[in-house]
Structure 1
Amino acid sequence: MGMSKKASACAALLLCFFLQLSSSVNARFAPSQETQRADGLCASLVLPYRDYACQEFVAQTSDGFLIGVQRMWRPDILKGKNAQPVLLFHGILTGGDVWVINPPGEGLGFIMADAGYDVWITNYRSTEFSYGHLSYKPSDKGFWDWSLDDLASEDLPSVLQMIYSKTGRKVYLVAYSEGAQSTLAAFSQGLCAELVSKAVLMAPVSYLTSGPQLIYIASTLRLQRIYEALNIYQLNTRSPGGRALVDLLCAKSSVKCYRDWFRLFSGFTCCINSTRRAYIDEYETQATSVKNLDHYSQQVRLGTFGKYDYGEEENMKRYKQKTPPDYDLSKFPSNQIPMLFISSANDSLANIVDVEHLYREIPPGFQRRAVENFGHLDFVFGDTANRVVYDYALEFLA
């Protein structure tokens, strides 16, 4: 059946938008190499505050991605001491900038450095402050052939191993949203938990029986199939074309987006300073793969927390079964590593029903805190997160 003129126009808009996102990648890096970058996270968001030092590193995954990692600290506080390293791991459609986009006293990266920690920030593979791929460019399909499974099996282990090699110490891990979900997936498979001595999981996404508007739309429309038919493999909204794309997606559903990516991607927010929205928009959102978003929508459709569904034939090749296997949360080491979970009943992505489901699945022994009236993005962008959320994390880690 042929496409209508309206559908053809929509397809053309989508295709043009994504072709504009292609850019060249400088991939001349060795694993765990320190580098310099004039437009990097250190130069853009940390070093302008003169009390802080910051270095850029590149961690290479076994599948060829070059992960941007930043190390920040307070020289006047550490004075050559071998401080405890702590890794901050961000969520979907954001980058490591979320930890330092709010100023000192509010951003968790600054707060941890002020407390005397050796702070490491990671940026997963497709985000602005990472360094691309050894072989693929962002215009290549292979650059976007990944999902949560790969963040758990590649990105997190590679960064933790690099930090351990640099410091010789086990790491404190603070993971948020998809960072927490990747931690759950990695640790439940026995990956890299031996490199972590304490963990804080904030807004811990796992099961997704429901979700904010974008997840609902993706689940309803099966966006993976639509985009693959158009040879489109990434989602990014940081351009006028990207905002038009969001509105186009919303027009295909009964959901009204109001051109507001905050509400579209995370639902309710309470505590983000409206005067800082334009500044946040300079950095967010950041690109993720359509496959990763489809993995989220799969969890909504199936009601499971499991690996990516490739279809029966490919599942048999990869998993030796017709359906994707669930992550075995009974093996998650919440009874072996000190852990704190922080959630909110008003979080529409890590909602209270799904978080309680998670708590029933993992072994006992962890600590939990519930904060009031906080939405998903408030955990990183909220100007009250320092006292509503981060004080719990600092107290636990101390």
Structure 2
Amino acid sequence: MFRLVIFVAACVALAAARRSPNADYVEDLMKSPEGSRFSDNINEDALLDVVIHNVVTSDGYILELHRIPHGRGDTPGDRPAVLLVHGLLSSSADYLIMGPGNALGYLLADAGYDVWLGNARGNYYSRQHISLNPDSILNKDFWRFSWDQIGLYDLPAFIDYILKINGQDKLHYIGHSQGGTSFLVLNSLRPEYNEKFISFQGLAPASFFDNNENTMFNTLANYESILETTAFALNAQEIFGSQDFITRHCVEGSIFNNFCQSALSGLFNREYYNSTMLPVILGHTPAGAAIRQVAHYGQVIRSNSFRRYNYNALTNLREYGSLTPPEYNLSLVTAPAYLHYGLADRQVDYRDLLKLANILPNVVKVNQAERETFNHFDFLWAMDVKEVMYDDIVASMRHAELNL
């Protein structure tokens, strides 16, 4: 049995804890006949959340950064820092909800690391700004960002804050999916940050989609030019956000129903998932994002290039000095890179990851999960993920430390 409240006790608190994003849904589920098959302990864990550090970006976003300063039985002291950053529609909870002994955040703390977990702007934990209101209908400027801004502004704010608190000059970075995308953005646009990393552990980092065979991705990509405009007109600039998306949209007749069924089937109807963890996962996922993040990936798919966000010709000229958005210069991403992937990943095709590996100038290791059915979400929630992937990640971090 685990308790996420262990994390509350372990962290250095700068603010009070609060409930998980989909706690109302979990409570309703527990009252239903289906909920009777889940234990009370799991139910409680699904409703728990963590304490926070507040970090302010240079463009005014107030982000939540969570910390596990040391492992069980350890005492505070000097130890390497590691920053974990989540994927699209996710949060720091991804690295904690499987509990001590299983979740990557806890395993790293027990392995001797000072663990920090970031929450990108716009997710449930980072919906604040010094002047902009994320819930305003009249002014929607809070939501005018993609993962370009996450890499350009959020990551430097996290990194500088962590190194100041930790007292060291380098840290490890672990990014899943969009967390890997934003790392590539940062170090191509601000290459001086490469010197701040002991290693980059990319867990299926999303960049190229040349071999993408995901029907949903390809369908959305066809509408990337009107996706944000339409969403803003419908007051839907926040996608799958702090509102209870599951109970509002994963219902019969909803345009999102097929998406929900596909996602849930892919996540849970397999032998490598513990079905009793369902309410815990759904208690924290999805955690929300800006519609522009989705549109930007759509642009990458349609243009067949990993490039900055395409506004329009005039805005591009003002922002980039060219009528079309420039590609990210990946030759500038010189931090030691360790790339991890699964052959059954339908979100980041392994062939596209291998393309990225051939372009980055300092790839130390490319690690394929031994299990051939390992997919995109197995990085977070598979029962065998420690043996299949996490042990290799820790070994890669140790390797990078020896080569400083």
What is the TM-score normalised by the length of structure 1? 0.81
Per the TM alignment, residue 207 of structure 1 is displaced from its structure 2 partner at its CA by 0.8
Q: For 2:235 and 2:281, how far apart are their aligned partners in 1?
A: 30
1:1-398 aligned within 5 A = 35-39=14-18, 56-74=52-70, 77-130=73-126, 132-140=128-136, 141-169=140-168, 170-189=170-189, 190-209=191-210, 210=212, 212-222=214-224, 223-236=227-240, 238-239=244-245, 240-244=247-251, 247-249=254-256, 256-257=258-259, 259-262=261-264, 271-333=272-334, 337-371=335-369, 372-398=372-398
Q: CA RMSD in A?
A: 2.7
Q: For 1:322 and 1:272, how far apart are their aligned partners in 2?
A: 47
- 8 Å contact kept, 1:269–1:377: no
Per the TM alignment, residue 218 of structure 1 is displaced from its structure 2 partner at its CA by 1.7
Kindly tell me: are residues 120 and 358 of structure 1, through their superposed partners in 2, closer, same or farther at Cα, counting changes over 3 Å? same
Letter in 2 for 1:60: V
Kindly tell me: are residues 246 and 63 of structure 1, through their superposed partners in 2, closer, same or farther at Cα, counting changes over 3 Å? farther
Q: For 1:234 and 1:369, how far apart are their aligned partners in 2?
A: 35
Deviates more, 1:211-220 or 1:115-124: 211-220
- 8 Å contact kept, 1:270–1:378: no
Letter in 2 for 1:369: N
- 8 Å contact kept, 1:347–1:376: yes
Per the TM alignment, residue 330 of structure 1 is displaced from its structure 2 partner at its CA by 1.3
Structure 2: any 5+ residue segments left out of the alignment? Answer: 1-11, 24-40, 399-404
Q: For 1:316 and 1:181, how far apart are their aligned partners in 2?
A: 24
Kindly tell me: are residues 219 and 75 of structure 1, through their superposed partners in 2, closer, same or farther at Cα, counting changes over 3 Å? closer
Per the TM alignment, residue 94 of structure 1 is displaced from its structure 2 partner at its CA by 0.5
Q: For 2:263 and 2:60, how far apart are their aligned partners in 1?
A: 31
Letter in 1 for 2:111: A
Give the equivalent residue in structure 2 for 1:18. Answer: none
- 8 Å contact kept, 1:68–1:131: no
Per the TM alignment, residue 246 of structure 1 is displaced from its structure 2 partner at its CA by 9.5
Query: Aligned residue pairs: how many?
Result: 349
What is the TM-score normalised by the length of structure 2? 0.79
- 8 Å contact kept, 1:267–1:376: no
Q: What whole-Å deviation, never above 9, does each CA across 1:316-370 have from its counterpart, x for those lacking one?
A: 111111111000111110xxx3321101121111102211221222114421101
Per the TM alignment, residue 168 of structure 1 is displaced from its structure 2 partner at its CA by 1.5
Q: What whole-Å deviation, never above 9, does each CA across 1:253-309 have from its counterpart, x for those lacking one?
A: xxx436343468x89977332221222111100110111110011111111101000
Letter in 2 for 1:235: I
Letter in 1 for 2:395: E
Give the equivalent residue in structure 1 for 2:37. Answer: none
Structure 1: any 5+ residue segments left out of the alignment? Answer: 1-32, 251-255
Q: For 1:171 and 1:40, how far apart are their aligned partners in 2?
A: 30
Q: For 1:34 and 1:309, how far apart are their aligned partners in 2?
A: 40
Q: For 2:270 and 2:328, how far apart are their aligned partners in 1?
A: 30
SS class of match (2:387): helix
Letter in 2 for 1:176: H
- 8 Å contact kept, 1:267–1:347: no
Q: For 2:316 and 2:260, how far apart are their aligned partners in 1?
A: 38
- 8 Å contact kept, 1:64–1:133: yes
Q: For 1:175 and 1:349, how far apart are their aligned partners in 2?
A: 15
Question: Identity percentage over the alignment?
Answer: 25
